[in-house]
Amino acid sequence: MQLERILQKHGFGSRRECRGLVRRERVAIDGRVCDDPFVELDTDGLVFTVDGVDWPYAECASLMLHKPAGYECSRKPKHHAGVLELLPVPLRERDVQPIGRLDEDTTGLLLITDDGQLNHQLSSARRKVPKIYLATTKHRLDQEQIGRLLAGVLLADEVEPIVAAAAEMVGENQLRLTLTEGKYHQVKRMVAAVGNRVEALHREAVGELTLPADLKPGEWRWLTADDLKKLGYAT
């Protein structure tokens, strides 16, 4: 694929703008500046550099973000900054979007992609992809509340009880909850239904993919092939 097309695909502007980047010697391949926007490159394993920043060739842009509090998972945020503002401009230009949503005050693992198939697979209610949350509650937890969450609670506007796939106390005021559905404010509403209240909420994992301990709030990284396997998604 021609270099200018690679740059355009990765969100660096129109083909004319990408040609300008190359001709101004802002692009390097294998550590060497390239000034030919029409050079044909093998995209398999390709890593190119723009203004000193490495970019791996990615047919689809799929990544994980450690979402901090205070950001909306919306491309058109209304009350707070949008979570996509934490990403570099070229990624935003690729039209990536969050897979599902976390509330503005919820932190933790957020997946973002421009891969429609991955988005659909992880969002589909039929696939029941587990999501693990750590909730800090206002009141002390007890086994009766855990039992009710595991047995199922009836939420407003729902016809059938919503059942937690797993629930355990990890402290007097901390609950680890596994859900396989993605209903509106589900964790908060389920905890409220058993007579408690969520004061803080953090998503630890999606499927078998857990938030890396070294990924700080606001930081992101590409999903690897191993990460995608943990999500049950074959590339």
Token pair belonging to 109: 């693992």
Residue 127 has pLDDT above 90, yes or no: no
Residue 235 has pLDDT above 80, yes or no: no
**CATH number for the domain including 149?**
3.30.70.1560
State whether 212 and 121 are in the same domain. Answer: yes
Task: Determine whether 103 is an active site residue.
Answer: yes
**CATH number for the domain including 105?**
3.30.70.580
* pTM given for the model: 0.92
Rounded CA-CA distance 137/193 in Å is 13
State whether 148 and 176 are in the same domain. Answer: yes
State whether 68 and 119 are in the same domain. Answer: yes
How many independent structural domains does the chain possess?
3
The b/e string for 148-171 (b: 16+ C-beta within 10 A; e otherwise) is bbeeebebeeeeeebebeebebee
Does residue 12 fall inside a structural domain? yes
Does residue 235 fall inside a structural domain? no
Token pair belonging to 185: 């404010």
| Triad 169, 66, 199: Cα angle to 5° | 40
Strands 53-56 and 62-67: unpaired
**Residue closest to 210 by CA, chosen among 88, 105, 111:** 111
Q: 24 and 12 in contact (C-beta within 8 Å)? A: no
Token pair belonging to 32: 């060497």
In the prediction, which pLDDT does 157 show?
83
In the prediction, which pLDDT does 234 show?
65
Residue 123 has pLDDT above 90, yes or no: no
Task: Catalytic residue, from 30, 103, 114, 142: name it.
Answer: 103
